[in-house]
Amino acid sequence: MSLLVEKTSSGREFKVKDMSQAESGRLEIERAEVEMPGLMACRAKYGPSQPFKGARITGSLPMTIRTAVLIETLTALGAEVRWCSGNIFSTQDHAAAASVARDSASVFAWEGQTLQEYWWCIERALDWGPGGGPDLVVDDGGDITLLIHEGVKAEEVYEKTRQLPDPASTDNAEFQIVLTIIRDGLMSDPKKHTGMSERLVGVFEETTTGIKKLNEMQANGSLLFPAVHVNGSLSLSSNSKFDNLYGSSSCSFRNKVIALLELWKGTEKYEKKVYVLPDEKLAAAALDHSTMSVVTSSEAAEKVEAKFASLVARRNKLKRNFIKEKKKLFKLKAVEAILTLKLMGYF
């Protein structure tokens, strides 16, 4: 599929629906920044040191206003970013336009894409020039991970047999598109996806579907790079409420940045397997200015069980008191009935 890639005045590539929506998108981004203090704190804390300088980050999350704040945080920390949406319907076109207008990233996303357009955008987000690829990937549902792995598999077959992938070999319409992309890529660069996989430091995934695929690849030994489950192990407790650390939007985006930094700075520590990040120490550092505390899943479970037991005990006590009061009321009503009968001369 061939679509026209546009360029900003600085030469940055992009493809969005309507650049005239950039101003309204910028107003909403500025409002969202106020509502996402975690990301703004990351900019203030890490921005001066530029920890992502030299890093190429490809993202495939829904291109929303909040995602725009994430993208601009990554670039504020020194990263080069290319982005596409995580599905065909979730793009907010004014957010995409505003990101491009700020010249902060290459964005390829618009609401209401066809499947062909969706995968074309993924290709563009992965295209860092000849022999290139991203250092870090933020995935959503595992589509980028799928494309790279299937691409490497096809390149290995092509190198041995000169056989190209056959889109007609599957009845799945979307996978036919994937195989077509890989087939066409082989003709121009027979090591394209292999080169990507060798450069890639790691992929970040938060969906159940994506994590399931990654765990399966780890189990059968086909996982080509480290993978991070960014929705897995920690809980946040505050005012006796329990919530997944990544449950709130602001925490979710902030901790993506922290996990990306951890993997980028500690590349040599991670093997080709699925990890859960950040750990308690890292998360505690992220929350050092909050009133919240970090606990492991088991600790959270113990606290929930204790809270539940306390609530059950309180309920039982209230129930017993209610029964006692009901008995008292019944006795009073009985006495009242007897007195009434006496007054009426029945006794």
> In the chain, which ranges are continuous DSSP H helix?
22-35, 37-46, 65-76, 93-101, 115-126, 143-161, 173-188, 192-199, 208-220, 249-265, 280-286, 297-343
Residue 151 has pLDDT above 90, yes or no: yes
Buried/exposed code over 273-299 (b: 16+ C-beta within 10 A; e: otherwise) = ebbebbeeebbeebbeeeebebbeeee
Q: Predicted confidence band at 231 (pLDDT cuts at 50, 70, 90)?
A: low
Query: According to the model, what pLDDT value does residue 237 have?
Result: 42
Nearest to 56 by CA among 83, 25, 78, 79: 79
Q: Predicted confidence band at 125 (pLDDT cuts at 50, 70, 90)?
A: very high
Residue 243 has pLDDT above 60, yes or no: no
Whether 244 is covered by a domain: the verdict is yes
CATH number of the domain encompassing residue 133: 3.40.50.1480
Whether 199 is covered by a domain: the verdict is yes
Whether 176 is covered by a domain: the verdict is yes
3-state secondary structure at position 84: strand
Whether 340 is covered by a domain: the verdict is no
Tell me the pLDDT tens digit for each residue of 19-70: 999 999 999 999 999 999 989 999 999 999 999 999 999 999 999 999 999 9
Residue 245 has pLDDT above 50, yes or no: no
Q: Are strands 202-205 and 13-14 parallel, antiparallel or unpaired?
A: unpaired
The lowest-confidence range among 132-146, 172-186, 211-225, 258-272 is 258-272
Residue 97 has pLDDT above 90, yes or no: yes
Structure tokens that stand for 286 in this block: 């992220």
Residue 292 has pLDDT above 80, yes or no: no
Residue 91 has pLDDT above 80, yes or no: yes
At position 281, the amino acid (one-letter code) is K
Whether residue 141 contacts residue 203, with contact meaning beta carbons closer than 8 Å, is answered with no
Nearest-angstrom CA–CA distance, 90 and 327:
60
Q: What is the mean pLDDT of the segment spanning 202-207?
A: 92
Q: Which residues pair with 82 in a beta bridge?
A: 58, 106
Whether 304 is covered by a domain: the verdict is no
Q: What's the mean pLDDT when you consider all of the chain?
A: 86
Query: According to the model, what pLDDT value does residue 255 have?
Result: 78
Give Cα separations from 142 to 27, 119, 259, 276 (angstroms): 32, 13, 18, 16
Whether 156 is covered by a domain: the verdict is yes
Give me the number of domains the chain comprises: 1
Whether residue 229 contacts residue 297, with contact meaning beta carbons closer than 8 Å, is answered with no
Buried/exposed code over 19-51 (b: 16+ C-beta within 10 A; e: otherwise) = bebbeebbebbeebbeebebbbbbbeebeeeeb
> In 47-92, which ranges are continuous DSSP H helix?
65-76
Q: What is the mean pLDDT of the segment spanning 97-107?
A: 95
Give the pTM.
0.78
Q: Predicted confidence band at 240 (pLDDT cuts at 50, 70, 90)?
A: very low
Query: According to the model, what pLDDT value does residue 327 have?
Result: 82
Whether 155 is covered by a domain: the verdict is yes
A 10 A CB-CB count for 218 gives 15
Nearest-angstrom CA–CA distance, 130 and 115:
25
Please tell me which residue, 308 or 10, carries the higher pLDDT value: 10
Residue 291 has pLDDT above 70, yes or no: no
Domain assignment of residue 22, given as a range: 6-295
% of residues, the chain, pLDDT over 70: 85
At position 231, the amino acid (one-letter code) is N
Whether 345 is covered by a domain: the verdict is no
Residue 290 has pLDDT above 70, yes or no: no
Query: According to the model, what pLDDT value does residue 235 have?
Result: 43
